[in-house]
């Protein structure tokens, strides 16, 4: 699967986001080591700390399906160009790398942009 297709899956699932408070929809789609993909969207709760980001939702779905090695993740929001993951999601991503790094795909002015997780999360906590 190419990164444009991964981004399109993230776009599709962003429409399912449950965001009655922030109105900030986000979709994510992870690509695993074996080529499988899993999508997730963000969902909010009146107790704001219980909100789940799209990235962690997609990663959790991959884990629930037996996949713990990630190669890439696409993130999309119709509310923001260049939607990159929050710090909590970046730290979660470091736990499930298939190799030494992870490609993070977002969209800028209609074009796919790729970041390395190591660029967005230098000196991450690892055991």
pLDDT tens digits along 12-50: 999 999 999 999 999 999 999 999 999 999 999 999 999
* Catalytic residue positions, numbered: 55
**What is the model's pLDDT at position 100?**
85
Q: Is pLDDT above 80 for 127?
A: no
Q: State how many domains the chain has.
A: 1
Q: Please indicate, yes or no, if residue 9 is contained in any of the structural domains.
A: yes
The answer to whether residue 124 sits within a structural domain is no
In a domain, 7, yes or no: yes
Task: Give domain status of residue 126, yes or no.
Answer: no
Return the DSSP state at 18. Answer: B
Provide the pLDDT for residue 80. 95
**Full-prediction pTM beyond 0.85?**
yes
pLDDT at 125: 79
User: Minimal CA–CA distance to 26: which of 52, 62, 65, 63?
Assistant: 52
Mean of all residue pLDDT scores within the chain: 95
pLDDT in tens, 72-126: 999 999 999 999 999 999 999 999 998 889 999 999 999 999 999 999 998 887 7
CATH number where 29 lies = 3.40.140.10
Domain range holding 19?
Answer: 3-119
Q: Are strands 70-76 and 103-108 parallel, antiparallel or unpaired?
A: parallel
């Amino acid at each position: 699967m190419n990164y444009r297709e991964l981004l399109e899956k993230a776009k599709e699932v962003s429409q399912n986001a449950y965001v009655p408070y922030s109105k900030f929809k986000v979709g994510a789609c992870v690509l695993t080591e074996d080529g499988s993909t899993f999508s997730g969207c963000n969902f909010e709760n009146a107790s704001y700390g219980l909100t789940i980001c799209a990235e962690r939702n997609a990663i959790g779905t991959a884990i629930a399906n037996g996949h713990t090695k990630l190669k890439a993740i696409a993130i999309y929001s119709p509310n923001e160009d260049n939607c990159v993951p929050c710090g909590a999601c970046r730290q979660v991503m470091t736990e499930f790398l298939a190799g030494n790094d992870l490609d993070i795909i977002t969209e800028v002015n209609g074009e796919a942009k790729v970041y390395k997780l190591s660029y967005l999360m230098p000196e991450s906590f690892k055991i």
